[in-house]
Structure 1
Amino acid sequence: MTQPVRHDAMRARNLGLVLGEVHRAAPLTRAALAELTGLTKSTVSKLVGDLVDAGFLAETGPARVGERGRPGVSVVLSGARVASLGLEVNVDYLAGCVLDLSGTVRFSRRIERDNRGRRPARVLRSLQKLADGLLAEAEAAGLSLAGAVLAVSGPVADGVLASAPNLGWRDVRAADLLRLPVPVSLENEANLGALGELWFGAGSPEFLYVSGEIGIGAGLVVGSELFRGARGLAGELGHVVVSSSGPGCRCGARGCLETYAGQEAVLTAAGVRTVEALVRQLAADDPRAVRAVAAAAEALGLALTSAVNLLDLDRIVLGGIFGPLFRWLAPAAESVLADRLGPLRGSVPVLAPSTLGATAATLGAAGTTIHRVLADPASFPVR
């Protein structure tokens, strides 16, 4: 026996339907929305009015200036009231940003600091101060927080950071250590970097995003959706073994990719302390720097070969330090891919640098809440 659809459930669905169409194709008139959604004009008019009153939509004026008769008024997503907070704890920095509903970054902060070996509670207290500063700025601007997401550099399952060897953390409910006016959810930073790239970067519907930090992670996007794996732990590219006799890794294995291509490994091999210094050395054709990046590129190419053979990838986006190093890193990695994949596939996947740089994960974190709001605005009453 079928169950009747409750009026409030139908209204919630229709609010999400209208808001989603505006997100995809704004500016739109009420008449255009009625045609796109299949809803009656009177229903659309009521829904749009409710969304405008709640601060989700804003009217922008006549759709066609100079049109005879009464022109329709277009609506767009409003960035004036609803916002989300994206936060990140990485090995050598803390970061956060406030993103409004229109997808505009309103405020952002980043603190460079070494978090290795520090107790989670201590690190999260520092992140709390960063978040409090961002929330104060958002409140002063009249923004209401719809939600928050925290990015962490390790696999996450059921709200638990299972393991972050580079931080020295294991089985940590990191989001529970923050005190914010909305619930905080936890997610892997590479997954969020992939979503950031999907929503705010290149926007390809299918690609592998590789996060090149001190650790190396990956996020796989298929059909414009994040692939998480059976337990949400997919993407640990940094611990793909590229040499069984290689150096020891913090995870306990030997020869993992990040022991060759992780930020710390590359900088040490090049004899420099920062990525900026490494780029300068590469631009000057410094032999040691060139050798260090070539070795990292070869290891990265080997790991990506396994990923391509397994997943049949056509596009790989390189983020983190791989972005500024792309000019020198990509040719050598592509050469390895061509040698190993060319005879089988006849072609190699396209390698591209991330367009977002170091902001990918925090943008993906903040964007996660925004996309939840767009899908179900009725669940996010403006505070």
Structure 2
Amino acid sequence: MHRPAAPAAVRQGSLRELNLAVVLGRIAAAPRPPSRADVAAATGLTRATVSAVVDDLIAGRLVAEAEPAPRAGAGRPARGLVLAGDGPAGLGLEVNVDYLAVCVTDLAGRVRHHTVHRADLRPLPPADALARLVALADAARLDARRQGLTLAGAVLAVPGLVDAAGLVRLAPNLGWRDVPVPALLAAHPPLAEPVPGIPALVVENEANLAALGELHADPDGPVSFLHISGEVGIGAGIVLDGALFRGVRGFSGEIGHLTVRPAGRPCGCGGRGCLERYAGQEAVLAAAGLDRADLPADTAAARLADLAAAGHHATRAALAEAGAALGVAVAGVVNLLDLDTVVLGGGYARLTPWLRPPVLAEVSRRVLTAAWSPVTVRPSALGPEAAVVGAAGSVVRRIVAAPVGWLNRAG
């Protein structure tokens, strides 16, 4: 689940801090539970050093010993080391146009709690929407505590432009502008326990978090790709060589507001002909002759997928039109960044069978290298949960990369 970067050979801080990060990172990245001797061999540390570090990690509820695998030869089998399932956990939160989501993941990235509350949040003031989210987070905290987990930080995913201080500059589909999310949440009890070196709350663009969730969901997956989250709005996370590309101000990935028809429909962002106006969830529903108000208990993507699978002509035509618009935008990004993988996430994940053909048709026509360097278009492994799972996972990855803060707190 984790892809921790190898700690630098020389860095500030104590030797103990470095050794803790090296050993924990090795255990997290190992394809099967390594023994202490395996960790020593892989890291170059002495067995005595590894044993002492592992003892600290076990005492701090970061590592646990697995039952040894049976062996036929003589001698006592070595016990493998795994990330603990009853220590720190990450709290992922998401505010989107028509739902709220909360997720808790443990240190190994396993989802231990997941709740989705569906409601149209556009009529609500930001403070009211966040209050509803806090109520869901409180229930998640209680559930985590029952499982022996401690929430070590929270990350909130928002479908809009977020600056480094957590100020939501613009979330056009929610109607938010210059919303001070951290200040609004400060009026409620803390979402997570204080841990040195781990921010209590981070606010981030939901498409970026979805891309990070996808990156870490499959250790053998691509390390460079475009992840597109298709909901009411459309956002993208760009991953290059295993790292999220944020742009100069952190606002990259607004693919939903790429122009696909210059003289087209007006958009809530103030422009015209934006991709969202042709491939966003509500645009597709309208083209299919469906009313979002008729789907209170189900997701729009699920209903569209059911109708398309049943051969509903209007739905298939709407998805073909959306896929063609999406393909125009994707082709521009691929031409610019030379990517070979496009991941369809959010509601698009379920609709991939009908979106992929028109996307690939536009890519083959518009991408200069398509004839000898084909582009893969596939559904997200995490689907609609990618952003909130990615948010929770980003908390625990911080602990894996720098465990000393958690240990100092626990001590």
TM superposition score normalised by structure 2: 0.88
Within the candidate set 77, 82, 93, 2:83 is matched to 77
Question: How far does residue 163 in structure 1 lie from its aligned partner after superposition?
Answer: 0.5
Question: How far does residue 281 in structure 1 lie from its aligned partner after superposition?
Answer: 2.2
Match of 1:236 in 2: 254
1:7–1:191 Cα change, 3 Å: closer
1: CA distance, partners of 2:126 / 2:387: 19
Matching residue's letter, 1:20:
G
Q: Is the 8 A contact 1:88 1:152 kept in 2?
A: yes
1: CA distance, partners of 2:184 / 2:71: 53
Match of 2:306 in 1: 280
Q: 1:66-96: per-residue Cα shift (whole Å, max 9, x none)?
A: 4423332221111112211101000000001
Q: Give the secondary-structure state (helix, strand or coil) at the position aligned to 1:380.
A: helix
Match of 1:24 in 2: 29
Match of 2:284 in 1: 266
Match of 1:11 in 2: 16
2: CA distance, partners of 1:353 / 1:102: 23
Q: Is the 8 A contact 1:29 1:63 kept in 2?
A: no
1:279–1:53 Cα change, 3 Å: same
1: CA distance, partners of 2:184 / 2:24: 33
Match of 2:191 in 1: 180
Q: Is the 8 A contact 2:224 2:240 kept in 1?
A: yes
2: CA distance, partners of 1:35 / 1:284: 57
Across the aligned residues of Structure 1 and Structure 2, the Cα RMSD in angstroms comes to 1.8
Question: How far does residue 245 in structure 1 lie from its aligned partner after superposition?
Answer: 0.9
1:271–1:23 Cα change, 3 Å: same
Please show how residues 1-383 of structure 1 align to structure 2 within 5 Å.
Answer: 9-25=14-30, 26-62=32-68, 65-158=71-164, 159-178=166-185, 179-182=190-193, 183-201=200-218, 203-272=221-290, 273=292, 274-341=300-367, 346-381=372-407
Question: How far does residue 290 in structure 1 lie from its aligned partner after superposition?
Answer: 1.8
1:86–1:241 Cα change, 3 Å: same
Report the count of equivalent residues. Answer: 379
Matching residue's letter, 1:349:
V
Q: 1:298-347: per-residue Cα shift (whole Å, max 9, x none)?
A: 11010011101100010000011211111111101111111112576534
Question: How far does residue 169 in structure 1 lie from its aligned partner after superposition?
Answer: 0.4
Question: How far does residue 203 in structure 1 lie from its aligned partner after superposition?
Answer: 3.0
2: CA distance, partners of 1:220 / 1:324: 21
Q: Is the 8 A contact 2:363 2:370 kept in 1?
A: no
2: CA distance, partners of 1:369 / 1:161: 20
Q: Give the secondary-structure state (helix, strand or coil) at the position aligned to 1:123.
A: helix
Q: Is the 8 A contact 2:88 2:152 kept in 1?
A: yes
Q: Give the secondary-structure state (helix, strand or coil) at the position aligned to 1:226.
A: strand
Question: How far does residue 204 in structure 1 lie from its aligned partner after superposition?
Answer: 1.7
2: CA distance, partners of 1:205 / 1:344: 20
Per mean C-alpha deviation after superposition, the further-off stretch among 23-32 and 171-180 is 171-180
Q: 1:244-287: per-residue Cα shift (whole Å, max 9, x none)?
A: 11100000000000000000110111112333332232123222
Q: Give the secondary-structure state (helix, strand or coil) at the position aligned to 1:205.
A: coil
Question: How far does residue 378 in structure 1 lie from its aligned partner after superposition?
Answer: 0.4
Q: Give the secondary-structure state (helix, strand or coil) at the position aligned to 1:281.
A: helix
Matching residue's letter, 2:210:
G
Q: Is the 8 A contact 1:267 1:275 kept in 2?
A: no
1:375–1:211 Cα change, 3 Å: same
2: CA distance, partners of 1:175 / 1:353: 33
Question: How far does residue 374 in structure 1 lie from its aligned partner after superposition?
Answer: 0.5
Q: Is the 8 A contact 1:209 1:218 kept in 2?
A: yes
2: CA distance, partners of 1:156 / 1:345: 38
1: CA distance, partners of 2:82 / 2:105: 16
1: CA distance, partners of 2:91 / 2:162: 19
Question: How far does residue 63 in structure 1 lie from its aligned partner after superposition?
Answer: 5.4
- Percent identity, aligned pairs only, is 48
Q: Is the 8 A contact 1:84 1:147 kept in 2?
A: yes
1:53–1:97 Cα change, 3 Å: same
Q: Is the 8 A contact 1:96 1:131 kept in 2?
A: yes
Q: Is the 8 A contact 2:154 2:192 kept in 1?
A: no
Q: Give the secondary-structure state (helix, strand or coil) at the position aligned to 2:316.
A: helix
- Structure 2: tracts of 5 or more residues without a match: 1-9, 194-199, 293-299
Q: Is the 8 A contact 1:210 1:217 kept in 2?
A: yes
1:7–1:340 Cα change, 3 Å: closer
1: CA distance, partners of 2:12 / 2:377: 49
Q: Is the 8 A contact 2:152 2:192 kept in 1?
A: no
1:29–1:122 Cα change, 3 Å: same
Per mean C-alpha deviation after superposition, the further-off stretch among 330-339 and 60-69 is 60-69
TM superposition score normalised by structure 1: 0.95
